Amino acid sequence: MFGTLRFILALLVVGCHTDWFAVSAEVTAARELDLGGMAVVLFFILSGFVMTATVRRYYADKKEYGMFLVDRACRIFPQYLFWVAATILWIHFLDREAQPIGIQPVLENVSLLPLMFNVLDCRPWISRVAYLGQTWSLSLEWYFYMLLPVLLWSAKLRQWAFAVSFVIFTLATLNVITPNIYSYHLLPGVLFIFLLGSMAYDELAAKEPAGTRLIRPYLLVVLLAIFGNSLRTLHHHWTPEVLIGIFAGVPMIAWLARQKSHPLDDWLGNLSYGIFLNHYFVLGAIDKYKWVSGRWPVFFFTASAAILLAIPSYYLVEKPFVKLRRALRKRLQPAPATGR
């Protein structure tokens, strides 16, 4: 049932960017919780779970590291480059004031890697131009893809990576270092969130008693939330979203992994990536032409248009590469799905 979850999470991200899905809550200080931020955290956990399954089954051998990255590139880049190109064309012909177009920002966006660092002011080395503003998280995820197979070569290596990342996240949560940057936007502080999903997969695959691998890291997050609450440091933007996303996401994904899939679930999951990518394009058009106004109308228009645009972009742009990925995996002998 991961497909339906991805579809819902993509719509929550759309809602976040249309400035509607923010609900009042009291988390040490009166502020608004951002459901889109929580959705991103669930995406991270889900990515850790699914990518660990993929590496364990097809790319466990160190010699297959390059093939794993090819597999991931075939997943990430076709639709991403399509919507980056569509946005650049839109800016060039219809909305020249929206974003600057130049060799450096185009190369940065095409390569994807620099976008995670847009949260930092690294100009002139990084232009900080993102034609699809939400894809900083996609850049972060790509770094995770490059790192995960290495971490899975050794259980101790994954444990050390988790520990270092959690320390960075703890310092950000306690406001020792900038929370907005290190607890949400950069991989060093959120790597442990991906690894929670990775550990969850290994626990389910090994058929161990519930919580065997996750109880200690999960308790660490709980204790951090209690300590941060006592110090009143949880009111910073993204900190409560990340913590709530972890508390809800780990058991939710572990439960959904045991449920049977369905063709509709698969179809909704196929559309989710296109929705995530194209909704900024739709919002740019709304902002220029003022087709609708008001939070609810903007959300429903954006979500509907994003879904409709995601259908052809999946079938025409991504699906040919799905066949390529399947062929790539077919030539490999699946490894036994056991935890390590």
Q: How confident is the model at residue 238 (pLDDT cuts 50, 70, 90)?
A: confident
What is the reported pLDDT for 33? 79
What is the reported pLDDT for 29? 38
> Each residue of 98-142: pLDDT tens digit?
889 999 999 999 999 999 998 888 888 999 999 999 999 999 999
CB 306 within 8 A of CB 279: yes
CB 78 within 8 A of CB 317: yes
Q: Provide the total of helices (H) and of strands (E) in the chain, helices listed first.
A: 13, 2
Cβ contacts of 329 within 8 Å, gap of 6 or more: 58, 71
Specify the 3-state DSSP secondary structure of 27: strand
The average confidence (pLDDT) of the chain is 90
Q: What whole-number percentage of the chain has pLDDT above 90?
A: 71
Tokens of 336: 């036994």
> Each residue of 29-88: pLDDT tens digit?
345 678 899 999 999 999 999 999 999 999 999 999 999 999 999 999 999 999 999 999
> For 265, phi and psi rounded to 5 degrees?
-60, -45
Q: What is the pTM of this model?
A: 0.92
What is the reported pLDDT for 156? 92
CA-closest candidate to residue 31, choices 336, 188, 240, 218:
240
More confident: 217 or 144: 144
Residue-range domain boundaries for the chain = 2-23+33-330
CB 222 within 8 A of CB 243: no
Long-range residue pairs from 17-21, CB within 8 A, at least 24 positions apart, any chain: 17/134, 17/279, 17/280, 17/283, 17/302, 18/283, 18/295, 18/298, 18/299, 18/302, 19/295, 20/295, 20/296, 20/298, 20/299, 21/299
CB 271 within 8 A of CB 16: no
CB 234 within 8 A of CB 27: yes
Long-range residue pairs from 301-308, CB within 8 A, at least 24 positions apart, any chain: 302/14, 302/17, 302/18, 303/11, 303/14, 303/15, 303/275, 303/279, 306/14, 306/274, 306/275, 306/278, 306/279, 306/282, 307/271, 307/275
What is the reported pLDDT for 27? 38
Describe the chain by its helix, strand, coil percentages, rounded to 5.
Answer: 75, 5, 20
Tokens of 327: 């062929």
| Rounded CA separation 14/109 (Å) | 21
Q: What is the mean pLDDT of residues 294-307?
A: 93
